[in-house]
Amino acid sequence: MSKKLTVEELLAKAKKPAKIAAAYHPFYEGKMQVMPKCAIRSSADFAIWYTPGVAQPCREIKENPELVFKLTNKWNYVAVVSDGTRVLGLGNIGPEAGLPVMEGKALLFKYLGGVDAFPLCLATKSADDIITACKWIEPTFGGINLEDIQKPKCFHVLDKAREQLNIPVWHDDQQGTATVILAGLMNALKVVGKKMGEALISIVGVGSANTRTAIVLMRAGVKPGNLIMVDSKGILHPNRKDIEAEKGENPWKWDFCLKTNGEGRTGGAPEAFKGADVCIAASKPGPGTIKKEWISAMATNSVVFACANPVPEIWPWEAKEAGAKVMATGRSDFENQINNSLGFPAIFRGVLDVRATAITDDMCIAAAKELAKFAEERGIHEGDIVPRMDEWEVFPREAVACALESIKEGVARVKPSRQELWDRAVAIIKNARESTALLMKHGLIPSPPSEEEVLGRS
């Protein structure tokens, strides 16, 4: 049996990744690079890959633009687009300061999904400019991942870009978060013996993540009246005149005022927690954003997802002490990591493999169901409700589920069989993982200083 850590030890553990990151980032001077994927046997091959030979695929694409998916890497390119206005829990830190996050996103895309993703941090805060930028780069990319854009601008950018582009566009802070939260919720409710259609769910924070999460949860079977949503000013209800006054700018939030909170609760967060079966928080980083006494007021066998990054709204041990049966955060150094990394690499793998023109909420639900199913098949309990990133087999399964849903919805340009999709996803993801391992083995990716060295220096 592992030793139970003290609060001081738990706090030290929580601070450890930031200390190591401070040393490792300058060591590598970035996390991604561009590598050839074609054979280069001698300099003579450049006559094939570049001039004069390259003119031939150019002519073929000119005659049939769809051939760009076969003759170039467009089929596997994704742009990670951000303006740096809502980066993690750090806020509006700008495009340059947001670049490490976008590089990290690209790293996860490649290693977990075999997707060639490029960080594109834009020097604009205009929603129209961001949409225009996405339209300008559409010829190169097979998909666009919007990232860390402040609300409500992010909602408008996503909706308009999805309307105007003919490649999949999604906002990971919205759809990615919703996907993994839904997967975790499915299994957490199984662990505590409750049903999604009956559970009373408190939603803390009504930003981009929880806005789409609420929409996806309702589409997946949660009754709108069983959602109690609370922002910094209190519970959402039809008499929130401040929200009604801004419904032109943020119609989604006003819609929640009209549809959710069937009991007609008023007040703030403490009132939203009373008797709730589940709390889903994506609000201000903690600790202390969520109080222990609020969790104590929840129903027996409660579920708490505290998803703020880099620090959850309440420390896991505090939530457990207050009575939570299942506790999850967005961090990899605690049990039950509810993190977008389980979603976006595989979902994009799936839509890219069928050359889809869109990513819909139903695709997110299909991915969530596959995530939950994978974890349930290998066994779940209160400390293990979702797959882990090192369970790589879940990613091709999720990719196939998403690809098949794309075909079902009629947005796929090609329609491979389930087996063909599986074989392709496995091969591409294995290639990414094994290539990285090979580069490390031969020292082409050098080993960083040991954690002991880094922590000893600090």
Q: DSSP per residue over 355-395, as a string?
A: T-S---HHHHHHHHHHHHHHHHHH--BTTB-S--TT-TTHH
Instruction: Characterize 77-115 residue by residue with b for buried, 16 or more Cβ atoms within 10 angstroms of its Cβ, and e for exposed.
Output: bbbbbbbbbbbebeeeeebeebbebbbbbbbbbbbbbbb
Give which of 256, 168, 157 is closest to 205, Cα–Cα: 256
| H-run or E-run covering 74 | none
The total of other beta-carbon atoms located within 10 Å of residue 314's CB is: 27
What's the token pair of residue 57? 């695929």
Alpha-carbon separation of residue 130 from 4, 108, 441 (angstroms):
48, 23, 40
Alpha-carbon separation of residue 68 from 30, 40, 60, 65, 277 (angstroms):
30, 22, 9, 6, 50
Q: What angle (nearest 5°) sits at the alpha carbon of residue 423, between those of residues 107 and 102?
A: 15
The structural domains of the chain, ordered by start, are 23-173 (3.40.50.10380), 175-329 (3.40.50.720), 340-380+390-441 (no CATH)
> Residues with catalytic annotation?
50, 105
Alpha-carbon separation of residue 39 from 49, 68, 228 (angstroms):
10, 20, 57
Alpha-carbon separation of residue 449 from 27, 158, 275 (angstroms):
8, 41, 49
Kind of pairing, strands 201-204 and 169-171? unpaired
Q: pTM to 2 decimals?
A: 0.92
pLDDT tens for the chain, residues 1 to 458: 345 667 677 677 778 888 899 999 999 999 999 999 999 999 999 999 999 999 999 999 999 999 999 999 999 999 999 999 988 878 899 999 999 999 999 999 999 999 999 999 999 999 999 999 999 999 999 999 999 999 889 989 999 999 999 999 999 988 999 999 999 999 999 999 999 999 999 999 998 899 999 999 999 999 999 999 999 999 999 999 999 999 998 999 999 999 999 999 999 999 999 999 999 999 988 889 999 999 999 999 999 999 988 789 999 999 999 999 999 998 888 899 998 999 999 999 999 999 999 999 999 999 999 999 999 999 999 999 999 989 999 999 999 999 999 999 999 999 999 999 999 999 999 999 999 999 999 999 999 998 888 888 65
